[in-house]
Chains A and B, each alone.
Chain A
Amino acid sequence: KQEVTQIPAALSVPEGENLVLNCSFTDSAIYNLQWFRQDPGKGLTSLLLIQSSQREQTSGRLNASLDKSSGRSTLYIAASQPGDSATYLCAVTGSQGNLIFGKGTKLSVKP
């Protein structure tokens, strides 16, 4: 059974720092991997989607990488801002198209 783990569970950094969030999964047979952002009490906003054949995707200050063979993905956030404070969720797509989620990393960026 696919399991997704995110480390760390929480992270606090000063504004301007570059940071890395980690995601690992146990079964490399995935269609794709998505990173989401969730603000308190809100739904999920899709940040980046990496197809299984791809190695990385970039959007603005965000860069996500995927290494299927080792079951790992990282989300790199450059020059962090207080507005980046949120919970970041990693999810892999299973054989029925459903998402299997990690428990998230709660990020706090201090001004």
Chain B
Amino acid sequence: DGGITQSPKYLFRKEGQNVTLSCEQNLNHDAMYWYRQDPGQGLRLIYYSQIVNDFQKGDIAEGYSVSREKKESFPLTVTSAQKNPTAFYLCASSIDSQGLNTEAFFGQGTRLTVV
């Protein structure tokens, strides 16, 4: 089955720790995105990548980092610099980022909690 797989489903982070959220897709999509969802605030864009080895900051990139070494994978690291990391994180992909091929497909999300 083609789709987007996020892991883990639940993640707990101690104060001062870096944690990495996994996102893998087998849809052969060029573009990948990370969003953060908080209650009452909707989804906000953290980072996006239009092609391998290239990525750009979204609206709330501070305290996060990403890499795009393979087309299929776009991991997100939540660093200790992110002061309020508790949220639901969603990864998405689309065929590309321009024109008619921007229909987005989402993974099932990772819920990160600071303990």
Contact A49 B33, beta carbon cutoff 8 Å: no
Binary B-proximity of A52-80 (CB < 8 A = 1, otherwise 0): 00000000000000000000000000000
Pick the contact of B102 from A42, A93, A103, A104 — CB < 8 Å?
A93
Partner of B42, one of A42, A45, A93, A101: A101
Assembly CA distance A43 to B23 (angstroms):
13
Size bracket of the B interface: 20 to 34
Q: Chain A: interface residue count, which band? A: 20 to 34
A101: chain B residues at CB < 8 Å are 35, 42-44
CA distance A36 to B43 in the complex (A): 12
Q: Say if the beta carbon of A97 comes within 8 Å of chain B.
A: yes
A51, closest chain B residue (CB) = B100
* Residues in B whose Cβ lies below 8 Å from that of A89: 42-43
